[in-house]
Structure 1
């Protein structure tokens, strides 16, 4: 059954969390949500599974540059995503993404600084969004999940919230100059997966695989 988006947390300490939660909410409700509803007939399932307080890591598949906006707007609380470090050198864009809680990551390399930034973001009270494969895939399926998210979960004891984004690969296919409109998009939010009880590699690998399987199972449900 399709669900309404969970209500937004109104924690009085939000302004101390970094970023700009007020700007985040304004952009979400005035720009992102109306556009997704009008042009992409977005469906959302499982919104009641989103905890509005406490540590949280939102883990998702990834097929489009629009996924951070889509996933973040479906949560009932602000979600900070990693962003490629090059964006933080561009005037205006740098200030905008930092206002939305984003933190830099070096693509193609294990980045301890990004992991520290993610942990800091969680400690400030933001839900932190991580794409489990780290990069986009053509069909939205997770085939090579990375261990970084599990490492962060082990260090912060933040549970995973598995999320599947279906259909976003058609919005901006390779070679296109402009986004395609009226492409159906579906977001499915699964049940919480408790944080791993150990940070040894075998545990992290098993935990990561469990999360990948949960997301792929949601994705297989389709529209």
Structure 2
């Protein structure tokens, strides 16, 4: 068992009894090919929660400062995290994410860039559209429906894959593709909040 699988099963066994995950739509998650997994962002626990409930290994960008902490420095690469400089155009992180997508991997992204303070979906940054278009990947929208409260159900909803090929062919802008992604995340939130 590699470190990613070990960490995934360990974190799952710790968090599952507390947050009682209800995962919806995981069976629709594409089994192969580059996928940009885009989710809303409501809590610091979102990356591990999305990671442990996604059928395939997920690569997340993590702020560079975390890689300077001794124990995390050796642990983070083993759980598919790679560093990004916040607030700067980090060419190394961009190249790494695009290569992962082109190599058929899953890259996780929170297009809002920061956590929502009130749980409502914010505006997405154009980076999501950029990665989808330039990474030759399709997109899976994901909705996390909280709140994160002990012993309350937490929903992780995977939507239908968004085929980016038509947008690529007509040279759509990164902003337009990001809007489509955010709209689909918003639809998942609306649809499943009603049933919660």
Look up the match of 1:211: 181
Kindly indicate whether the alpha-carbon contact (under 8 Å) linking 1:63 and 1:140 is maintained by their aligned counterparts in 2.
yes
Hey, what's the Cα distance between the residues in 1 that align with 2:25 and 2:84?
A: 29
Hey, what's the Cα distance between the residues in 2 that align with 1:133 and 1:149?
A: 9
Gaps of at least 5 residues in structure 2 are none
Kindly indicate whether the alpha-carbon contact (under 8 Å) linking 1:166 and 1:187 is maintained by their aligned counterparts in 2.
yes
The structure-2 alpha-carbon separation of the partners of 1:93 and 1:182, relative to structure 1 and needing over 3 Å to count, comes to same
Hey, what's the Cα distance between the residues in 1 that align with 2:73 and 2:119?
A: 27
Look up the match of 1:197: 168
1:187 is aligned, of 142, 156, 175, to: 156
Deviating above 3 A after TM superposition, structure 1's stretches of 4 or more consecutive aligned residues are none
Look up the match of 1:58: 37
Kindly indicate whether the alpha-carbon contact (under 8 Å) linking 1:141 and 1:219 is maintained by their aligned counterparts in 2.
no
Describe how 1:13-92 pairs up with structure 2 within 5 A.
22-29=2-9, 31-92=10-71
Gaps of at least 5 residues in structure 1 are 1-20, 172-180
In terms of fraction of residues, the more strand-rich structure is 2
Greater RCO between the two (CA within 8 Å, min separation 6)? 2
Hey, what's the Cα distance between the residues in 2 that align with 1:188 and 1:217?
A: 11
In terms of fraction of residues, the more helix-rich structure is 2
1:107 is aligned, of 86, 91, 116, to: 86
Cα shift at 1:199: 8.8
The structure-2 alpha-carbon separation of the partners of 1:132 and 1:198, relative to structure 1 and needing over 3 Å to count, comes to farther
Hey, what's the Cα distance between the residues in 2 that align with 1:155 and 1:199?
A: 13
CA RMSD of aligned residues (A): 1.9
Look up the match of 1:176: none
Q: TM-score, normalised by structure 2?
A: 0.89
Cα shift at 1:121: 2.5
Hey, what's the Cα distance between the residues in 2 that align with 1:48 and 1:34?
A: 21
Look up the match of 1:174: none
Cα deviations by residue, 1:7-39 (Å, 9 ceiling, x for unpaired)? xxxxxxxxxxxxxx821112212x222233211
- Aligned residues, how many? 191
